[in-house]
Structure 1
Amino acid sequence: MSHRHPLFARFYARTSLLMERRIGAHRRTLLAGLTGRAIEIGAGNGLNFPHYPGTVTEVIAVEPEPHLRALAQALADTTATVPIKIVDGWADRLPADDASCDAAIASLVLCSVPDPDAALAEIARVLKPGGQLRFLEHVHHPRPARRRLQQTLDTTRAWPWFGGGCHCSRDTLTAIKNAGFTIDHLDILTSTDTGLPFPTAPQIRGTATRP
């Protein structure tokens, strides 16, 4: 089931630590107030782990890339303040039972999953009715010229090749709504807020509820 992306995984592991100087505050905001059992989709190297509040009883951290998964395990062993179980798995086949989680976290990952609609359907499946989806994602640009550039980068495969499968032109907010979630809160972030440059800007951070 593992998905190997060794060069990108090592590049991301290093650059993500530099980005964390700005992104860390948004991770804390994203996870504030969470309670119960959570599942994190595409946990990467585990940079969300230190920000889970003590009201979370367990985190199932799903990560298909072996190098990133090993780094996440090391971080969970040394810095996590809540129980974290790190597992191999895919966003469209989550290793969790139906309606078994109180919350799901998608943090800079829905850009990279092969099928975001399938991933969101799986998130809805494992969430309890009334469960929350917390998301922090980069999305397509509101300006047409920049959005066309993002689309070109994706359709020519230039950006997905460089970014380990990342697509910079996805309309993730619409995908979340189409999956049946109700948007409860939404913040629009820019490169000034996060330090993430175009074409991975702007970003959205918010909370949505499963019916």
Structure 2
Amino acid sequence: MQDLSKFQHPRFARAYERMSAESERWVSAHRRRLLAGLAGRVVEIGAGNGMNFAHYPPEVREVVAVEPEDRLRALAERAAGGVAVPVRVVAGHGGAVPVEDGGFDAAVVSMVLCSVPDQAKALAEVRRVLRPGGELRFFEHVRSDRPGVALLQDLVSPLWRRVAGGCRLNRDTERVIRDSGLVIEERQRFAFRATPSSPSLPHILGRARNPDTS
């Protein structure tokens, strides 16, 4: 049984529930692009309150949705009951994904690599659970490639991390994905604001392949 106490952020979870509902009209198109073409077994790491579930295509046979935060996981379980694709919600975190080695055709991370304690460890777990040739789908906000904006992210990030459930604004997530040994096959970089009143942040959306080394 994993100790998930350090992942509990009830105040942020309540705020996230509200914000994700408000932003869905702008985010849903990106979710559809993120998940388009998936099939077979999928593990979603950091599933939050389950906003991706309705966008999985019918070719997906099963989604195992991993979420450490108690309130968000309960909301994800509720969301799983209202979608066509079979979704099983489990307690766990990105540093120790509670599923078997090599059992999945795809892994999904969506606005989660900003907040995992150790990105390299989480991506090592992605490689562990993917079959050879399986793919990672990612949709993440990242460090700006504009020096002035990146400096501002560095300055704001410590406070933001405290109030936003461990989220860091200044992570160079694309580099860490490449360093993990996953091979990025497609990547789009764009500025995006979740709501009209939120700041515009650089995001990446794409897919990477787990190499078949056999």
Q: Within 5 A, what are the aligned runs for 1:60-75?
A: 60-75=64-79
Counterpart-to-counterpart distance in 1, 2:195 and 2:40: 31
Match of 1:163 in 2: 164
Shift of 1:195: 4.4
Q: 2:22·2:195 contact (CA, 8 Å) conserved in 1?
A: no
Q: 2:44·2:109 contact (CA, 8 Å) conserved in 1?
A: yes
Point out 4+ residue stretches in structure 1 off by more than 2 angstroms: 194-198
Match of 1:127 in 2: 130
Structure 1, unaligned runs of 5 or more? none
TM-score (norm 2): 0.93
Shift of 1:189: 1.9
1:153 to 136, 150, 156: 156
Letter in 1 for 2:134: G
Shift of 1:165: 0.3
Shift of 1:191: 2.1
Match of 2:29 in 1: 25
SS in 2 for 1:202: strand
Letter in 1 for 2:89: I
Letter in 1 for 2:48: G
Q: Within 5 A, what are the aligned runs for 1:12-161?
A: 12-78=16-82, 80-154=83-157, 157-161=158-162
Counterpart-to-counterpart distance in 2, 1:95 and 1:191: 32
Q: Within 5 A, what are the aligned runs for 1:183-194?
A: 183-191=184-192
Counterpart-to-counterpart distance in 2, 1:52 and 1:12: 21
Return 82-91 or 183-192, whichever deviates more: 183-192
Counterpart-to-counterpart distance in 1, 2:8 and 2:109: 20
Match of 1:204 in 2: 204
Letter in 2 for 1:128: R
Letter in 1 for 2:159: A
Identity of aligned residues (%): 48
SS in 2 for 1:190: strand
